[in-house]
Amino acid sequence: MAATTDDTQEETDAPAAPPARRRGTGRIAAAVSVFGELLITAGLVLGLFVVYSLWWTNVIADRAADKQGDKVRDAWAHPAKDTGPGALDTKNGIGFLHVPAMKNGEVLVEKGTSTEVLNDGVAGYYTDPVKAALPTTGKKGNFTLAAHRDGHGAKFHNIDKLKVGDPIVFETKDKWYVYKVYDILDETSKYNVKVISQIPKESGKKKAGHYITLTTCTPVYTSRYRYVVWGELVRVDKVDSKRTLPKELR
């Protein structure tokens, strides 16, 4: 009897076998685990892309713009024999835009508004669909410019800081063109080409004059609409031997 009792106790104390796992449950858990890992990986890739788009492209573009800007200033300091006072276009840029309210330093201005041009961290003047009127010609018209708001230098990132009355200065080899902001359109269709007309009637102007128009994307981090700032020329200062800044930039 004792032997029988001991055998029974040993059987009772033995560990029970684990319950059989359902195949379906195991597969679902594995799938969820893989999906979670994919989400984490996708999040990391997206984060790296954002860093690249909003930071690293700025670094690359600023380097390119600085290099091109140095070439422009060097060309001004050592002009070629076939250029004289008033010469504007060079293959590296035509001058520099200064907008204190945007706190973006000097911005090199080049010909064209293609992605290839603007990605170098510059502002470009329109050649299409409405050709910009360059101020050095002395003719009335609209000096229309575009630049990126985010990434690739983001030269117009702070365009929303501009207020009516703020100065916009365009620097060439020989002159400072000083404009004052007179109107702002904080949102319009990207297909609205009337904002860059030679007479910007959407800003309230009805007669030809010497205008400047800055355009960029809005809202921030999108390209859904366009933000527009209009300015009008108030005076032109000659560049002296010391290249003294106009009072608006001091």
Residue 161 lies in a domain: yes
Range of the domain at 131: 53-80+88-249
Q: What is the pLDDT of residue 9?
A: 44
* Residue 28 binned pLDDT confidence (cut-offs 50, 70, 90): confident
Q: What share of the chain is helix, strand, coil (3-state, %, to 5)?
A: 35, 25, 40
Facing residues of 155 across strands?
Answer: none
Q: Enumerate the H helices of 23-131 as residue ranges.
A: 23-51, 57-77, 115-118
Of 98, 148, 152, 210, which is the active-site residue? 148
CB atoms within 10 A of CB 117: 17
Residue 20 lies in a domain: no
CB-count exposure of residue 179 (10 Å: 0-12, 13-18, 19+): buried
Task: Indicate if 152 belongs to the active site.
Answer: no
Q: Indicate if the pLDDT at residue 11 is higher than 60.
A: no
Residue 234 lies in a domain: yes
Residue 39 lies in a domain: no
pTM reported for the whole predicted model: 0.79
Instruction: Find out whether 104 and 158 touch, Cβ atoms under 8 Å.
Output: yes
Residue 32 lies in a domain: no
How far apart CA 239 and CA 171 sit, in angstroms, is 9
Q: What is the pLDDT of residue 41?
A: 65
* pLDDT tens track for 61-93: 999 999 999 999 999 998 876 555 445 556 789
Of 98, 157, 210, 217, which is the active-site residue? 217
Q: What is the CATH number of the domain that holds 138?
A: 2.40.260.10
Backbone φ and ψ of 248, nearest 5°: -65, -20
Q: Higher confidence at residue 43 or residue 3?
A: 43
Residues 6+ apart with CB under 8 A from 105: none
* pLDDT tens track for 204-240: 999 999 999 999 999 999 999 999 999 999 999 999 9
* pLDDT tens track for 171-187: 999 999 999 999 999 99
Residue 37 lies in a domain: no
Q: Count structural domains, the chain.
A: 1
Residue 12 lies in a domain: no
Which region among 30-44, 96-110, 140-154 has the lowest average model confidence (pLDDT)?
30-44
* pLDDT tens track for 112-171: 999 999 999 999 999 999 999 999 999 999 999 999 999 999 999 999 999 999 999 999
Residue 113 lies in a domain: yes
